Amino acid sequence: MHSICFQATGVPRSNYIFDSCSPALAISKPINLRFCGLRKEAFGFSGLTHSSSGRVRFSSRGHSKKVSASAESNGSPPKSFDYDLIIIGAGVGGHGAALHAVEKGLKTAIIEGDVVGGTCVNRGCVPSKALLAVSGKMRELQSEHHMKALGLQVSAAGYDRQGVADHANNLASKIRSNLTNSMKALGVDILTGGPQKVKYGKVGFPDNIVTAKNIIIATGSVPFVPKGIEVDGKTVITSDHALKLESVPDWIAIVGSGYIGLEFSDVYTALGSEVTFIEALDQLMPGFDPEIGKLAQRVLINPRKIDYHTGVFATKITPAKDGKPVIIELIDAKTKEPKDTLEVDAALIATGRAPFTNGLGLENVNVVTQRGFVPVDERMRVIDTNGNLVPHLYCIGDANGKMMLAHAASAQGISVVEQVTGRDHVLNHLSIPAACFTHPEISMVGLTEPQAREKAQKEGFEVGVAKTSFKANTKALAENEGEGLAKLIYRPDNGEILGVHIFGLHAADLIHEASNAIALGTRIQDIKFAVHAHPTLSEVLDELFKSAKVKAAALSHGPVSEPVAV
């Protein structure tokens, strides 16, 4: 039997330390904040007084928190815990889990060392959507051709940088307060803390302990900066800085052409910057379905003020100083030979995100992170080095690295809550949609065509591909936005949807019909009878499903439900 105890220290951004917490130990070593770590109880306190539960210590000044979970087999009454569930990290994942936990009747607390909302709300999806909304409008207003075709006349469009930046910031604070209020309203305890509260208490002394039966790690991620790159926050920046839009450089290099890089290229080019992409792989947008990627490149890259270097690593990036521009040294990704040197006004590092799990003290429960990611099974249960599950400890979101998307974290959190409330649940990650909010948008769910073909070869089934164009959609044409493609990858033998990829107007909103179908296991032969309002963009998907050729054998099963007159 052992107990687990977490301690949150007051470093900026949440930073938590796991601790074995026999009360005696906790008190005897109160000074060193980092002393406590999650570990197997060394001197098995057989529990004369606290045998059945661990504890969460929570300092009232929010400086240091200790969270403990009971051992699996303690069989103690829930009464002995302060909470049924404690979530570390109040990002979108933690928020989703907390809300669902309350709905399920769990007494829930959420711990945040920084601000509520996490990356998505404060430094990610939310403020970037504000910038992208501006860039979309700028793009429309600047496109004389587009305006003329609609019969509109607009004089030169301009923008106020600070105004745009404020919009993004205001949106983030609004969503943040919405998030906070929604949790408070439901009775989730938000235990916030940070260095600003240190003065209220004795440094390092855990004067409050909170206990919980189950613990979810949802500490998220931070921008990943490869070594050799010197981030100064002004001319060499990460998405954290870029979202503040403190400047619009004339020429910015974006390292990495994934979602983040692509979205920022959309923002910057709309605001008048020129962009150079630096991509380590041989083609841009490596994560996307190749066909969608090609089309996206034709629409989002080639006609814009963007050029790119592929198959190269940026080994060294020096910020602008001493009258010199930002200097980027490139080497060939394969031969490692120096290839080129770029001189630009700014560089945005969008090489992905690294999990923020340092200092959790996971090694003390025998858990070793893999490149920082907390290893979990398909139910988000944390796995230790021996491959055993750590009881009552879960990890969701970017910290486990399964799918680094805000809504994936939330879905994982909900899945965990389902499990701890007694209903087994496994999240189907292939049903989680993803979207890139460029103009037009890109969205996808499930497998890409190469992935599907690989799987098909392994498992011995056939792959069908159907495509429809936005050019044939009335609503898209009415908006004069006919550029776009929807692609369906499916199994002709049984009508299973393997993947859907959309590039076009409002693609991010359109994908859910497909992702829901995958999540619910709806087959093409069934969904093709669903009715779509006319004229709407959703008819692109309607047409897509209808154009799929499902074999007659599958059809013989017929629609699931018999027609019922209502």
Partner 1 sequence: MQTQLGSAAFPRLLRRSLSYIPSILYSLHSLLNLFHFFRFLSNSSPQSQKHKEMASPFLSNTTISFSSSLSSSSLPRIAPSIPFSSIRSNSTPRRILTVRSKIREIFMPALSSTMTEGKIVSWVKSEGDVLSKGESVVVVESDKADMDVETFYDGILAAIVVGEGETAPVGAAIGILAETEDEIAEAKAKAASKSGASTPSAPPPAPAPGAASTPAPPKSTPAPAAPTVAEGPRKTVATPFAKKLAKQHKVDIESVVGTGPYGRITPEDIEAAAGLSPSKKNVGLAVVVETKPAAPAKAPAASAAPSSLPPPVPGSTVVPFTTMQAAVSKNMVESLSVPTFRVGYPVTTDALDALYEKVKPKGVTMTALLAKAAAMALAQHPLVNSSCKDGKSFTYNSNINIAVAVAINGGLITPVLQDADKLDLYLLSQKWKELVEKARAKQLQPQEYNSGTFTLSNLGMFGVDRFDAILPPGQGAIMAVGASKPTVVADADGFFSVKNKMLVNVTADHRIIYGADLAAFLQTFSKIVENPESLTL
Per-residue x/- track, 252-281, partner 1 (CB under 8 A):
-------------------xx-xxx-----
Q: Select 448 or 473, whichever has its Cβ closest to partner 1.
A: 473
Q: Which stretch binds partner 1 (CB under 8 A): 155-163, 174-182, 186-194, 519-527?
A: 155-163
The residue written with tokens 């050019």 in the block is 471
Residue 255's identity, in one-letter code, is: V
Q: Is 329 in the site for partner 1 (CB under 8 A)?
A: no
Q: Is 534 noted as a catalytic residue in this protein? A: yes
Q: Which of 75, 105, 158, 460 binds partner 1 (CB under 8 A)?
A: 158
Give whichever of 122 and 269 is closer to partner 1, judged by the CB atom.
269
- The residue from 126, 218, 248, 442 that contacts partner 1 (CB under 8 A) is 248
Q: Which is nearer to partner 1, 468 or 522 (CB)?
A: 468
Tell me if 326 sits within 8 A of 320, measured CB to CB.
yes
Pick from 251, 194, 254, 199: nearest CA to 223: 254
Identify which range of 335-343, 402-410, 428-436, 497-505 contacts partner 1 by CB under 8 A: 335-343
Residues 122 and 115: beta-carbon distance below 8 Å: yes
- Whole-angstrom distance, CA of residue 153 vs CA of residue 163: 24
Tokens of 482: 């006919």
**151 labelled as ligand-binding?**
no
CB burial string 406-418: b at 16+ within 10 A, e below = bbbbbbbbbbbbb
Judged by CB under 8 A, does residue 249 bind partner 1? yes
Binding-site residue total for partner 1 (CB under 8 A)? 45
Rounded Cα distance between 209 and 23, Å, is: 10
Q: Is 162 in the site for partner 1 (CB under 8 A)?
A: yes
Q: Is 373 left (phi over 0), alpha (psi -120 to 50) or beta?
A: beta
Determine, following the binding rule CB under 8 A, whether residue 153 of this chain makes contact with partner 1: no
The upper half-sphere exposure of residue 188, i.e. CA atoms within 13 Å in the direction of its Cβ, equals: 32
Site for partner 1 contains 474 (CB under 8 A)? no
Instruction: Tell whether residue 334 is a contact of partner 1 (CB under 8 A).
Output: no
Q: Please tell me what DSSP assigns to residue 429.
A: G
170 binds partner 1 (CB under 8 A): no
Q: Which long-range contacts (CB under 8 A, 24 or more apart) does 292-295 make?
A: 292/442, 292/444, 292/485, 292/487, 292/501, 292/502, 292/503, 295/485, 295/503
Is there a binding annotation on residue 352?
A: yes
Of positions 485, 507, 508, 514, contacts partner 1 by CB under 8 A: 485
8 A C-beta contact, residue 460 and residue 452: no
Annotated binding site for FAD: 129, 219-221, 398, 404-407
List residues binding partner 1 (CB under 8 A). 142, 144, 156-163, 234-235, 246-251, 271-272, 274-276, 298, 302, 305-307, 320, 323-325, 338-339, 341, 343, 345-346, 467-469, 471-472, 485, 547
Annotated binding site: 129, 219-221, 256-263, 279, 352, 398, 404-407
